[in-house]
Amino acid sequence: MIRLDNVSFTYDEDEFPAVDDVSLTIEEGSFVVLIGHNGSGKSTLAKLLNALLIPTEGDVWVEEMNTKNEEYTWDIRKNVGMVFQNPDNQLVATVVEEEVAFGPENLGIDPAEIELRVTDALEQVGMSEYRHRPPHMLSGGQKQRIAIAGVLAMQPNMIVFDESTAMLDPQGRNEVLEAIENLKEKGMTILLITHFMEEATVADRVLVMDKGKVVMDAPPVEIFSRVEELREYQMEIPQVIELAHELREQGISLSEDILEREELVEELCPLL
């Protein structure tokens, strides 16, 4: 569980806070999607969760450990794994298995145990057959799956995906989203940061950030019913939801919880 109490963060060179007085709790086992346009402060918020940044005001608590206390820094990072945006810039090693082993090696885990964890983590992201390959020969989606395996091998309680799908082609994005959903099914706590709205539809809860503040916090169905509000925060509305919204405005009665194309099709067909 992660708790933020009135957290603010201002970069040294900036005048205005990048994260401005945010309070929220992320429950164990939940799947939270954080959306917001560029510069809304979502990546800064992510870095506050694993002590890469320390709040200038307020406190971040990870399993009752305050990120301000340097004694806990490594325990916190072991607890909250993070997958970054650029697949090329977060891989350290020249062979896939060494890459996955990097985290546990840093934790000082016994080689025999690391071996087991590497095998298990690669299995979970479906990359076992690439174990002895050099990572630079893989596709973007595969590199990100390796990065996920690298985090899994540390056995965290929670994984933060900091726009991990932003630089991938559609196929790579699907691969990574599929891996994320698999983790969710296994009960992993997930915070997915993205600016693709359609990735929010599968979440338990959606947070919208704007100018450093969390401005919306609700289940996806409710978030997507507030189309006008989302537009105000410069969010791009997924086509299906936009179409349903326009139809409703024209007086066609559609239920409020349409998120996927199939759902819209099912509602529309009887009307024809």
Partner 1 sequence: MLRDITVGQYYPADSLLHRLDPRTKLIATMVFIIIIFMVKTPLQYAALGLFVLLSIYLSKVPVRYMIRGLRSILFILIFAFVINLFFTPGTPIFQLWRIRITYEGLRLASMMLIRLVFLIMGTSLMTLTSSPIQLTDGIEKLLSVFKRVGFPAHEVAMMMSIALRFIPTLLEETDKIMKAQMARGADFESGRLLKRAKALVPLLVPLFIASFKRADDLASAMEARCYRGGKGRTRLHELRYAKRDVVVFLVLIVYFGGVFLLGRL
* Chain positions contacting partner 1, by CB under 8 A: 47, 50, 52, 74, 77-78, 81-82, 84, 86, 88-95, 97-98, 101-111, 114-115, 118, 134, 136, 150-151, 154
Identify the CA nearest to 248 among candidates 229, 232, 215, 271.
Answer: 271
Q: Which is nearer to partner 1, 18 or 154 (CB)?
A: 154
Spatial distance between the Cα atoms of 263 and 221, rounded to a whole number of angstroms = 12
Cα 272 to the chain's mean position, in Å? 39
Q: Which is nearer to partner 1, 14 or 228 (CB)?
A: 14
Least gap, CB of 69 to partner 1 (angstroms): 16
CB 200 within 8 A of CB 4: no
Would you call 174 helix, strand, or coil by DSSP? Answer: helix
Q: Which is nearer to partner 1, 137 or 252 (CB)?
A: 137
What are the phi and psi torsion angles at 59 (to 5°)?
Answer: -130, 145
- What is the secondary structure of 210-237 as a DSSP string? ETTEEEEEE-HHHHHH-HHHHHHTTPPP
Least gap, CB of 187 to partner 1 (angstroms): 22
Least gap, CB of 125 to partner 1 (angstroms): 16
Q: Which is nearer to partner 1, 111 or 270 (CB)?
A: 111
Q: Which is nearer to partner 1, 3 or 133 (CB)?
A: 133
Q: Order of strands across the sheet with 65-66?
A: 19-26, 2-9, 57-62, 65-66
Spatial distance between the Cα atoms of 200 and 223, rounded to a whole number of angstroms = 10
Least gap, CB of 88 to partner 1 (angstroms): 5
Least gap, CB of 7 to partner 1 (angstroms): 19
CB 103 within 8 A of CB 151: yes
Spatial distance between the Cα atoms of 220 and 126, rounded to a whole number of angstroms = 29
Least gap, CB of 192 to partner 1 (angstroms): 16
Q: Which is nearer to partner 1, 2 or 258 (CB)?
A: 2
